[in-house]
Structures are given as C-alpha cells and as structure tokens.
Amino acid sequence: MAALKRITSIEELAQAMEDSAHRPFLLFKHSTRCPISSGAHREFDAYLNHNPNEAVNYGVIYVVEDRAVSDAAAERLGVKHESPQAILVKNGQAVWHTSHSDITLEALEGILAE
C-alpha cells in the first residue's frame, strides 16, 4: 500500500508542492462530516490498497480540521475548493482534478497510469 500523508500545515503543503517537481502528488481533500466524502475516501483507499502508482506521493487534507491548509491549497493551485476533491499536482501546478462521486478507483487508476 502506498503511504498517505496527512497535510496539517501550510509548511507541509508547500513542501509537497515543491516535491511535486520530482514526483507527482495526488492530494485528496476530505470532509469528515460528509457522507459523499466518506464514499470518495473509500474509493481513494481502495486505489491505495489495490495497485497504486508507487512513483506518486499521496496526501490528504481534512478540510474541517485544517481549513487554513485547505484554503491555501485552493489558492495556491487555482482550483476552486470542493470536498471531497482529488487534485493531481506536477511541478507545483494542478494538472487534473475531480470531485464528489467522480472520485473512483477507476478514475484514479486511469489518471495515475499515465
């Protein structure tokens, strides 16, 4: 299983963005209060437990608990905040994103197989 790192500070977010120059970074924004987000989290976990791309770093922001970090990610990446949301980052730039019920094992396998 690929490691999923919880991002709890703006400094950790900045480091993940910087590291995306060398390894793509898939960011999952999760609301612990939303049943749709819980379903997306299950799909994300299924991807990580199935056959994840080991050349990618994986991170999660809990949007309720770490609102400032979530807002900073939206601003820095230029992607309107939604939760749940998955954002693929390369070279510090969002190159793909999706949200809600479009976060599926199949969608993640498709975009991360490239």
Q: What is the pLDDT of residues 39-81, one digit of tens each?
A: 999 999 999 999 899 999 999 999 999 999 999 999 999 999 9
Which pTM was predicted? 0.95
**Residue 83: which domain range?**
4-112
Q: Beta 93-99 vs 85-90: how paired, if at all?
A: antiparallel
Report H helices in 1-114: 10-19, 35-50, 67-77, 105-112
Q: Which residues, at least 6 apart from 98, have a Cβ–Cβ distance to it below 8 Å?
A: 85, 86, 107
Say yes or no to pLDDT of 85 above 90. yes
Q: How many domains does the chain have?
A: 1
User: What's the CATH number where 103 sits?
Assistant: 3.40.30.10
pLDDT of 48 reads 96
